[in-house]
Amino acid sequence: MESKLLDWKKARQKSIIKVLGDMGIAPKTQTVKAAWYLSPLRTEKEASFCVTLNKNLWYDFGIAKGGNVIDLIIELKSCSSIEALHYLSSQTSFFFIPPEIDQTKRDETLQVFKVKEIQHPALIQYIRSRSILVSTARNFCKEVWYKYNGRTHFSIGLPNSSGGWELRNKFFKNSTAPKSYSLIGQQKEKLLLFEGIFDFLSLATMDKDLIASSDSLVLNSLGFISRSLPLLNKYQRIYLYLDNDHAGKKAAQKIKVLPLNIRDCSCTYKGSKDLNEKLRLLPQQFKKL
């Protein structure tokens, strides 16, 4: 017997957590505020797909895309909105119940209160676990201390071009407002384009001369491609170091249609998801790509 079709409002109330659970997708970490997943929309090794529990909304920081449960089904199943509605109507997943608002809840604004040279042993250990030279990380990043949700945290921080910070540690991936791309360099003729912090630091570890002779653009999210395209016109040569996954390939194709001198360098780490994975597979004495 065919299930009764839900109306759109009711369908949007299906719990994203429960819908993902029905698909066998479980969070890597979960707090009272959010659940963090390895993105079901692409390949990744650090959870950057967030479901906000008190709003029943999702956001994938890797592709800067999010929405409600209907939007998620459309992305997951590459289907139309009406097909997503039929799918949700056929599932027995629980409905989302908005929590009561607690006026005593703490401020969730991320507030930076100290920036210094990278010194904390936990951050140094994390950098080394990614096969990045600590001296290289110190050249471009800082140790950033901040308060978030009433607690004090510290991370490796890369400044972005709008005055914010991209923050990474072993357990946490976030950014301060305003979020943007990071442009590093002194108006050289070459531009090296990366998706994330560790791709950039990986190449800086493997080939510091190439980094020194070029400008570098770290997108910090593939969602900033469109905003960064006007920058590319300033350079005679552009080298792409994007991930070897569907999202990275799609982003590279979007850039390569421009009438510019563009080289896709992802073939130099073929067989690895990204530059950092390639670096970690290299022997102790690093090789140039």
Nearby residues of 259 by Cβ (< 8 Å), 6 or more positions away: none
pLDDT for residue 284: 59
Q: What is the pLDDT tens value at each position of the chain, 289 positions in all?
A: 455 788 888 888 888 998 898 888 988 888 878 889 999 998 888 888 999 888 899 998 878 788 999 999 999 999 999 998 888 888 765 666 555 444 444 445 788 999 999 999 999 999 999 999 999 999 999 999 999 878 899 999 999 998 899 999 988 888 888 888 999 987 899 999 999 999 999 999 999 999 999 999 999 988 888 888 888 989 999 999 999 988 899 899 989 999 999 999 999 999 999 999 999 988 754 544 4
Phi first, then psi, for residue 194 (nearest 5°) are: -125, 160
Enter the DSSP assignment of 262.
E
